[in-house]
């Protein structure tokens, strides 16, 4: 393990671990920890007390002092179930100038580059510290990063600038939307559909809540975007239901209906306003249901909450990335990342990583060789800066 692997060799190893969010990431964490230790780097784990099969990992190289640059990535990937892949998704395959494999783009390509940079920093010697942070459960709502960030600050000197390597084509992304989602369980009362007025149909009771989302989207779309919101596409907060299930037969009023109501809020908007607006609507529909039968109800559980990444005025992370990439344009994205969580914890944060987000989660996911090499060049320039 004392051999210094290339970024491609590291990515190939990382891809070989099928760390789908529903499954364990410990074999990958074991390998990274062993690789770190073989190069004299102390790696620290944060095991999830609620999920013993998952852990985060972080490490520090260089002077034991505050102000490190933090390279942040997640270890989980989305499922490949039902996707038509042309090659083994957990084996890196090169063809047509692209590296194919689940996670090559999102985001084990960056993880590999970050691991490579940390080991190189250890061997070259650096005057400013460099840290690595690898989380889990990013793909199910960025739920693994917040406890990891807290744990890092208890063990390592606090870093000051975080580069989150989500695929951005190596551009400096300085803002993204926030997000949160509610697991909504509508509980009705079953009767024969011929006397439906005496029962409560959970599916039909869910419909007004989903239509409320449609109406709010239409209203937001028609409004004139203001301030930071105008930078985004779309330039408004979105309400979305992507999954729904319920009912047992066509001639029975549905006893259950479940769906997720997700919100993606533009920076500057107060998420609590959207929470209350939705919960008010839930309470209104629930009252109508209980007027028919008192056992009917709606259970709502918030499943995730991701803060927006606010553009920083002269932020350290942005300045660093712009210096290393030469990119001085303004970029924001509508997807959420762990960057907002680092920022919320007091770090300067920016998104910059190789690959195109359009390839993320797709069958035959890939990162181009050109983009992977661009990420490698970025890390070389970062190391040059840290040894000055």
Residues 210-232 pLDDT 10s: 999 999 999 999 999 988 889 99
Confidence of residue 209 (pLDDT cuts 50, 70, 90): very high
Residue 383 has a CB neighbour count (10 Å cut-off) of 17
Question: For 289-308, how does the pLDDT look when each residue is reduced to its tens digit (9 = 90+)?
Answer: 999 999 999 999 999 999 99
The H or E element containing residue 71 is strand 69-74
Mean pLDDT of 240-265: 97
Percent of the chain scoring above 70 in pLDDT: 100
pLDDT, residue 83, reads: 97
Cα dihedral sign, 371-307-265-283: positive
Question: For 365-375, how does the pLDDT look when each residue is reduced to its tens digit (9 = 90+)?
Answer: 999 999 999 99
Question: For 66-101, how does the pLDDT look when each residue is reduced to its tens digit (9 = 90+)?
Answer: 999 999 999 999 999 999 999 999 999 999 999 999
pLDDT, residue 329, reads: 94
CA distance 17 to 109: 13
pLDDT, residue 388, reads: 85
Confidence of residue 54 (pLDDT cuts 50, 70, 90): very high
Say whether pLDDT at 260 is over 60.
yes
Name every residue whose Cβ is closer than 8 Å to that of residue 247 and which is 6 or more positions away in sequence: 202, 203, 254, 255, 256, 257
Average pLDDT score over the chain: 96
pLDDT, residue 117, reads: 98
CA distance 95 to 16: 18
Strands 256-265 and 244-246: antiparallel
pLDDT, residue 226, reads: 85
**pLDDT-wise least confident of 2-6, 11-15, 107-111, 181-185:** 2-6
Confidence of residue 45 (pLDDT cuts 50, 70, 90): very high
Going by C-alpha positions, the residue among 372, 382, 375, 373 that lies closest to residue 324 is: 382
- CA separation (Å) from 260 to 204, 302, 337, 381, 384? 16, 9, 19, 43, 47
- CA separation (Å) from 104 to 22, 86, 375, 382, 386? 19, 15, 12, 22, 27
Confidence of residue 377 (pLDDT cuts 50, 70, 90): very high
């Amino acid at each position: 393990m004392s051999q210094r692997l290339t970024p491609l060799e590291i990515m190939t190893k990382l891809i070989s671990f099928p760390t789908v969010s529903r499954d364990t990431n410990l074999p990958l964490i074991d390998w990274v920890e062993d690789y770190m230790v073989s190069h004299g780097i102390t790696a620290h784990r944060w095991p999830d007390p609620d999920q013993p099969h998952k852990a985060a990992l972080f490490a520090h190289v260089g002077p034991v002092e505050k102000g490190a640059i933090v390279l942040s990535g997640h270890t989980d990937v989305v499922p490949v179930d039902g996707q038509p892949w042309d090659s083994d998704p957990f084996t890196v395959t090169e063809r047509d100038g692209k590296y194919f494999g689940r996670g090559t783009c999102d985001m084990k390509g960056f993880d590999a580059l970050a691991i490579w940079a940390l080991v190189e920093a250890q061997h070259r010697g650096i005057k400013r510290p460099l840290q690595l942070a690898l989380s889990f459960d990013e793909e199910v709502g960025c739920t693994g990063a917040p406890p990891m960030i807290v744990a890092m600050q208890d063990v390592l000197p606090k870093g000051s600038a975080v580069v989150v390597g989500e695929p951005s084509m190596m551009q400096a992304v300085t803002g993204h939307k926030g997000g949160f989602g509610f697991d909504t369980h509508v509980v009705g009362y079953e009767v024969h559909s011929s006397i439906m007025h005496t029962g409560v149909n959970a599916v039909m009771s869910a419909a007004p809540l989903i239509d409320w989302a449609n109406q709010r989207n239409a209203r937001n779309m028609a409004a004139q975007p203001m301030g930071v919101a105008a930078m985004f596409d779309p330039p408004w907060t979105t309400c979305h239901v992507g999954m729904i299930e319920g009912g047992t037969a066509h001639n029975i009023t549905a006893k259950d209906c479940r769906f997720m109501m997700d919100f993606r809020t533009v920076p500057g908007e107060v998420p609590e306003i959207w929470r209350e607006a939705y919960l008010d609507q839930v309470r209104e529909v629930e009252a109508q249901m209980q007027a028919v039968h008192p056992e009917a109800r709606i259970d709502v559980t918030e499943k995730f909450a991701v803060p927006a990444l606010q553009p920083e005025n002269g932020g350290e992370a942005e300045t660093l990335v712009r210096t290393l990439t030469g990119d001085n344009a303004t970029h924001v994205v509508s997807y959420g990342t762990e960057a907002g969580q680092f920022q919320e914890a007091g770090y300067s944060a920016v998104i910059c990583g190789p690959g195109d987000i359009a390839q993320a989660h797709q069958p035959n996911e890939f990162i181009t060789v050109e983009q992977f090499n661009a990420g490698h060049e970025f890390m070389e320039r970062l190391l040059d800066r840290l040894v000055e």
